[in-house]
Chains A and B, each alone.
Chain A
């Protein structure tokens, strides 16, 4: 039985040494100078689930900013989308666009959108991974692009998003 203890201890030691950041998280700002450089977004032209072409430059001609939210229709995403849906009316000068980056076709994205009850939210179908590659999009990634077409926010969804929008 001593050997079981040793196996356990060794397993735990390996386990603990593999995940240092979570075990002893740091508050140090690790962003490099590159992270502070202004990045201008390329233009995009993507079909929505309504099969309407949405072009970034065209949207920014009408709005002060565009917000992209990357959804995979999961539980976490639904919670975020409900909150966005609730708050978006307070930002009439901002265009909120959901990005379905998991569906392989428009019809599949339409089904996800309908079944999850988000028909009222404009949803882009990124079935060719264009937006995912442009913005390094992951589940719940949230991007703000201002009227100068600069990416001013690219993080996982959090309420700080609205602080940034308030300061546009």
Chain B
């Protein structure tokens, strides 16, 4: 038989992954942010970031939050190359763009299915509420406890192939969700060497869009809006100083993501509500001048009941490098 489709939930996982993947070295001292929130270090004027995600599917949570493993013979994988560029706009303002390219590589029911294409692009701006780096080696005054607080906004631009666009004809062509979304973001972080604690939150609203085709087939036009999205992450890190003042930071994070029901026309679509909880481990090496950062992270979704809903259970390994320059 010919299998002509593959999970479009991969597109869902992709766009969610862009914000919820592990907070890889989100430190005001050396910059970073998560895969979806590229952040310049305080001294930096520009940064280029390149990362590669390897996401493997282990099963799913159903709408009753039960974990259902994938059949042993099936193998579902997605690879993403994320190219990012950040630019300081003013003393406390910066902006960034992240463009992913996506490869799907699947074995399902004995068939091999591969596809690729651009994913959804993320445009972000950030305001730093602090004028100087707040990382300290010891606390001598109350002022030393002041955290770094970043306030930002991210616009997800549907540059991927969605089921509503011109290019996707079957679900394995899908690499994006097809809707714009604006997220309001906050990152609160404090480093008292060697420890770093970070809280990250965002609230996203999708913009409604008209739909007049599905997989290239004309349908009765309707309006669709995906549900509001809430993301929370808490991480804790430990920095090891090496001989030449270069550092390795190890961090662990817990993250929770929820997206409400989508709306099609006047109907709320009950089956579209999603949730995911995950944990991650990250190691990041920073050069003594903080210009180069090499990172590796592992984001793990719990393959157990009650850790998610209507969402694939995946592990994501991310390898990346960034270079900050003036």
Contact = CB atoms under 8 A, between A and B. Distances in A.
A119 B102 CA distance: 35
Contacts of B62: 75, 78-79, 82, 116-117
A27 B210 contact: yes
A138 B210 contact: no
Nearest to A132: B4
A104 B1 contact: yes
A89 interface: no
B231 interface: no
A108 B60 contact: no
Chain B interface size, under 10 / 10 to 19 / 20 to 34 / 35 or more: 35 or more
Given A35-B218, A82-B271, A76 B7 contact: yes
A26 interface: yes
A31 B99 contact: no
A80 B271 contact: yes
B9 A74 contact: yes
A22 B325 contact: no
Nearest to A133: B2
A68 to B, nearest CB: 15
A136 interface: yes
A102 B264 contact: no
Nearest to B123: A12
Contacts of A159: 264, 267-269
Contacts of A25: 164, 178, 209-212
Interface of A: 1, 4-5, 8, 11-12, 15-16, 18-23, 25-32, 35, 72, 74-76, 78-80, 82-83, 101-104, 108, 111-112, 115-117, 126-129, 132, 136, 138-140, 155-160
11 contacts: A8-B85, A19-B118, A22-B164, A23-B158, A25-B164, A27-B223, A28-B212, A74-B7, A76-B12, A117-B62, A132-B4
Given A8-B85, A82-B271, 15 more contacts: A11-B83, A12-B99, A19-B165, A22-B166, A25-B211, A26-B212, A72-B7, A76-B9, A76-B12, A79-B63, A83-B271, A104-B109, A136-B217, A159-B267, A160-B222
Interface of B: 1-9, 12, 46, 48, 60-64, 66, 68-69, 71, 83, 85, 97, 99, 108-110, 118, 121, 157-167, 170-171, 176, 178, 209-215, 217-223, 264-265, 267-272, 310-312, 325
